[in-house]
């Protein structure tokens, strides 16, 4: 085993470097007999990785990145009972024990035991427990029987790997945002952000039965792609009155459900950062008693924020409007295990072509730095890293 991985080396920079081979142990060195080691088949670059690479979190150089992982089991601990060497599995980005109160209630995004600093753990992410990231050739996954989703047929999985690789994060995250916003049959839906998570949320709204799915963004390339895959684009560069722009499409300035797939690095019509603008727009356009799903990331510390308040996660929200309209808000990390099996079935039975919807683009692991640079420029692609050359074939 000779491991390499994508390492954050400082603001604006990542490098593919030799890293330690994985072991059946926790970040603090404890042996984990409930863990497995995976040969990584695919691992995706995520927008939330970009927040760290841009220097917008407290991530320190040396962090091995990557939380969107699909792989083959190559080694198992003595306590693993439901997996065998050779299984192809999807790894939820949440590290979860399966034993604490939150895990037992299905809230695996805020597991109480895998991170000594706060609730919730993840691979390769700042403040999320120190678990080594999976943008690498090999990675350790703890509590494997609980966390891993085994694909039923190896050949079928490899044939659909471009789609199935999205089960680790963005597809369940988009689905969670749509579901928590109350999307159902006949809903009028607005999604803020035409990046991969926004497209996954739009795809989820469609499979949930929405009548109209609009996606707003300033990025024209992403809007063109959104229209190509069947969603209604809203070009935010053409005006600053979002209700009027929505009314031009649907005849009403309000929607039943809104989904924030942008997060804390949001920008306003003037071009500058306004970290609360999407949240405020969601409250403005969502009807009375409507729902707002917020899969977009918001952080407790942002050293690059535009003002001192935002540096500690304090945003200028017009919360009184949302309260007066009796709107429902849902935040937090997606509990991937709630949704990944159902979404796997939708993929395997050709109901959800998510790879085409997010424009999955495969590249070798050793070209990850180029992928990060391209993704940060706003291209309409979702980059899937191929550590072993298994996807190109």
The residue to which tokens 């990584």 are assigned: 40
Q: Check whether residue 234 and residue 145 sit in a common domain.
A: no
Q: Check whether residue 194 and residue 269 sit in a common domain.
A: yes
Instruction: Please determine, for residue 393, whether its predicted confidence score (pLDDT) is greater than 60.
Output: no
Residue 385, beta-bridge partner list: 43, 363
Q: Give exposure, 225-253, as e/b (b: 16+ Cβ within 10 Å).
A: bbeebebbbbebeeeeebeebbeeeeeeb
Q: Check whether residue 279 and residue 361 sit in a common domain.
A: no
d(CA 279, CA 290): 14
d(CA 383, CA 41): 14
Q: Check whether residue 180 and residue 269 sit in a common domain.
A: yes
Q: Which structural domain range is residue 380 located in?
A: 4-169+335-386
Residue 281's pLDDT band, with cuts at 50, 70 and 90, is very high
Is residue 372 domain-resident? yes
Could you tell me which residues come within 8 angstroms of residue 320 by beta carbon, excluding any fewer than 6 positions away? Answer: none
Question: Which residue among 313, 331, 349 closes a domain?
Answer: 331
Question: Which residue among 316, 331, 346 closes a domain?
Answer: 331
Average pLDDT, the chain: 96
Instruction: Please determine, for residue 166, whether its predicted confidence score (pLDDT) is greater than 80.
Output: yes
Residue 259's φ and ψ, nearest 5 degrees, are -130, 125
d(CA 250, CA 212): 8
Residue 270's pLDDT band, with cuts at 50, 70 and 90, is confident
Q: Check whether residue 165 and residue 309 sit in a common domain.
A: no
Q: Check whether residue 115 and residue 178 sit in a common domain.
A: no
Q: Which of 38-47, 174-183, 302-311 comes out lowest in average pLDDT?
A: 302-311
Task: Go through the chain and tell me how many residues it has.
Answer: 393
Per residue in 319-353, pLDDT tens?
999 999 999 999 999 999 999 999 999 999 999 99
Q: Check whether residue 85 and residue 20 sit in a common domain.
A: yes
Is residue 206 domain-resident? yes
Is residue 193 domain-resident? yes
Q: Give me the sign of the Cα torsion angle 82, 83, 84, 86.
A: positive
Q: Check whether residue 341 and residue 228 sit in a common domain.
A: no
Q: Check whether residue 151 and residue 10 sit in a common domain.
A: yes
Domain count, the chain: 2
Instruction: Please determine, for residue 268, whether its predicted confidence score (pLDDT) is greater than 90.
Output: no
Is residue 202 domain-resident? yes
Is residue 19 domain-resident? yes
| Percent of the chain with pLDDT strictly greater than 70 | 99
Question: Which residue among 306, 331, 356 closes a domain?
Answer: 331
Is residue 174 domain-resident? yes
Q: Check whether residue 179 and residue 314 sit in a common domain.
A: yes
Q: Check whether residue 30 and residue 163 sit in a common domain.
A: yes
36, 73 Cβ separation under 8 angstroms: yes
Average pLDDT rounded to a whole number, residues 79-92: 98
Look up the CATH number of the domain holding residue 344: 3.90.180.10
Is residue 392 domain-resident? no
Average pLDDT rounded to a whole number, residues 263-272: 85
SS (H, E, C) 258-283: EEECCCCCCECCCCCECCCHHHHHHH
What is the pLDDT, as a whole number, of residue 392? Answer: 66
SS3 37: strand
Q: Check whether residue 45 and residue 25 sit in a common domain.
A: yes
Question: Which of 36, 96, 44, 45 lies closest to 70, judged by CA?
Answer: 44
Is residue 9 domain-resident? yes
């Amino acid at each position: 085993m000779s491991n390499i991985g994508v390492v954050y080396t400082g603001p604006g920079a990542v490098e593919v470097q030799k890293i330690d081979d994985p072991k059946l142990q926790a970040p603090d060195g404890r042996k984990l007999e409930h863990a497995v080691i995976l040969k990584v088949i695919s691992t995706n670059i995520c927008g939330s990785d970009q927040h760290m690479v841009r220097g917008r979190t407290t991530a320190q150089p040396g962090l091995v990145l990557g939380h969107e992982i699909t792989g083959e089991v190559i080694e198992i601990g003595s306590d693993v009972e439901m997996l065998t060497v050779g299984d192809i599995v999807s790894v939820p980005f949440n590290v979860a024990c399966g034993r604490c109160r939150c895990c037992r209630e299905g809230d695996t995004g805020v597991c109480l035991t895998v991170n000594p600093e706060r609730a919730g753990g993840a691979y390769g992410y700042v403040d999320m427990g120190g678990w080594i990231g999976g943008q690498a050739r090999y990675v350790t996954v703890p509590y494997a029987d609980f966390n891993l989703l085994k694909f039923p047929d190896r050949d079928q999985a490899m044939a659909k790997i471009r789609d199935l690789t999205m089960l680790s994060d963005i597809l369940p995250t988009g689905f969670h945002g749509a579901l928590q916003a109350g999307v159902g049959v006949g809903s009028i839906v607005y999604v803020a952000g035409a990046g991969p998570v926004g497209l996954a949320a739009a795809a989820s709204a469609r499979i949930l039965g929405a009548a109209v799915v609009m996606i707003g963004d300033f990025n024209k390339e992403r809007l063109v792609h959104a229209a190509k895959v069947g969603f209604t684009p809203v070009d935010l560069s053409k005006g600053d009155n979002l209700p009027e722009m929505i009314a031009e499409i649907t005849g009403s300035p309000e929607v039943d459900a809104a989904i924030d797939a942008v997060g804390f690095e949001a920008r306003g019509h003037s071009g500058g950062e306004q970290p609360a603008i999407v949240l405020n727009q969601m409250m403005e356009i969502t009807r009375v008693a409507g729902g707002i799903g917020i899969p977009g990331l918001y952080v407790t510390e942002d050293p690059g924020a535009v003002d001192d308040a935002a540096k500690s996660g304090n945003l200028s929200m017009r919360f009184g409007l949302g309260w007066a309209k009796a709107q429902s808000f849902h935040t937090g990390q997606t509990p991937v295990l709630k949704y990944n099996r159902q979404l796997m079935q939708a993929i395997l039975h050709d109901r959800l072509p998510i790879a085409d919807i997010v424009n999955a683009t495969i590249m070798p692991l050793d070209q990850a730095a180029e992928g990060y640079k391209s993704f940060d420029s706003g291209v309409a692609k979702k980059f899937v890293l191929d550590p072993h050359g298994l996807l190109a074939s």
